[in-house]
């Protein structure tokens, strides 16, 4: 069994997240997508909505589960007995922060490995913040978010 955790804020979920979920679920026997409460970020969507969005888009993938955790990722991975953490990597800008996080996590628990999956070139520009900015200004986010969550995201900004 190759189990992995894909953590993030998912505030809200985008096609970039879904792409990482689909590709990871193909190479892992089980994937847990975890909404991780980030004390540095004030979320726009509450945790329940983020979990609902993830459940809606991961429904078709039988080896994918959705979870929530508040605390240190490394503690969560240990509790779940999972030793692989998947992170998506977009541009150089993601690298420095993710590099630091991966090294710190390695220091905290060397048994847990962080694996980086390169973004799909179609979504390399895509982030939750961009989606929020466009939606808040009444722009069309159809091509940026999975259809199952489109209305939920739009109605948050009405
Ligand atoms: P964001 O960085 O957009 O605020 P999250 O914290 O929810 O999003 O990101 C969760 C994970 O998904 C991170 O590993 C992040 O690098 C990755 N990710 C986010 N958007 C993309 C994308 N467009 N392509 C690949 N990976 C992505």
- Cβ 12 vs Cβ 128: under 8 Å: yes
Pick the closest to residue 143 from 4, 49, 31, 16 (CA basis): 16
Tell how far the Cα of 39 is from the centroid of ligand 1, in angstroms. Answer: 17
pLDDT value of residue 39: 81
Number of domains present in the structure of the chain = 1
Nearest CA to ligand 1 atom 15: 88
Residue to mutate, 7, 13, 16, ligand 1, most ligand atoms under 8 Å from C-beta: 16
Whether residue 7 is predicted with pLDDT greater than 90 in this model: the reply is: yes
Average pLDDT, the chain: 95
DSSP 37: E
Question: What is the DSSP-derived secondary structure letter of residue 28?
Answer: S
Q: Is the CB of 12 under 6 A from ligand 1?
A: no
DSSP sequence for 97-124: HHHHHHHHHHHH-TTPEEEEEEPPGGGT
Instruction: Residue 44: give its domain's CATH number.
Output: 3.40.50.620
Task: Show the domain range for 119.
Answer: 3-156
């Amino acid at each position: 069994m190759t189990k992995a955790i894909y953590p993030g804020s998912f505030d809200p979920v985008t096609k970039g997240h879904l792409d990482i979920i689909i590709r990871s679920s193909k190479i892992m026997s089980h994937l847990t997508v975890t909404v991780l409460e980030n004390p540095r970020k004030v979320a726009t969507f509450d945790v329940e909505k983020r979990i609902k969005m993830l459940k809606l888009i991961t429904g078709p993938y039988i080896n994918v589960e959705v979870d929530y955790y508040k605390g240190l990722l490394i503690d969560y991975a240990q509790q779940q007995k999972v030793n692989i953490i998947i992170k998506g990597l977009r541009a150089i800008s993601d690298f420095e922060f993710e590099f630091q996080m991966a090294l710190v996590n390695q220091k905290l628990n060397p048994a847990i490995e962080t694996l980086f999956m390169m973004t799909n070139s179609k979504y390399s520009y895509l982030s939750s913040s961009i989606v929020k900015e466009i939606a808040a200004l009444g722009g069309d986010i159809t091509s940026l978010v999975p259809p199952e969550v489109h209305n939920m995201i739009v109605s948050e900004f009405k």
